[in-house]
A = this chain, B = another copy of it.
């Protein structure tokens, strides 16, 4: 069974109605490799459902969020969503600045950190940004073109 159907079933068991729209939304996240803005979600969904309204997108994002199916992170560009990570292994992410694909980083810096004394640690945030191997070449070509080399 694919990720989409598994999640849809999980939603059904919680008593939620499975509409075509919700199925498409789940599939969008199941297939996406990176973070999505509400606007990204709306734009994608709107192709299939021309009458779609923005508030329904927000409402369904909240539903998926409350069920723990997706997670929310605040970036400079705004709030973004992605499929919830498997939490069985604590990990962090590399995030591609071009395609927003994320790659896990298995090691966590916290154990090695020398934090100021007397501070009671509750949580931490660690993210690395850059260009993934797929996008690095594209970025270099773009930069070269800006400098006049076609």
Contacts and interface: CB of A to CB of B under 8 A. Distances in A.
A118 interface: yes
A41 interface: no
B128 A115 contact: yes
Interface stretch (A20-28, A61-69, A130-138): A130-138
Interface residues of A, number: 36
Given A74-B74, A126-B126, A113 B109 contact: yes
Interface string A104-143: 1111011011111111111111111111110010000000
A76 interface: yes
Interface of A: 74-76, 94, 96-97, 103-107, 109-110, 112-133, 136
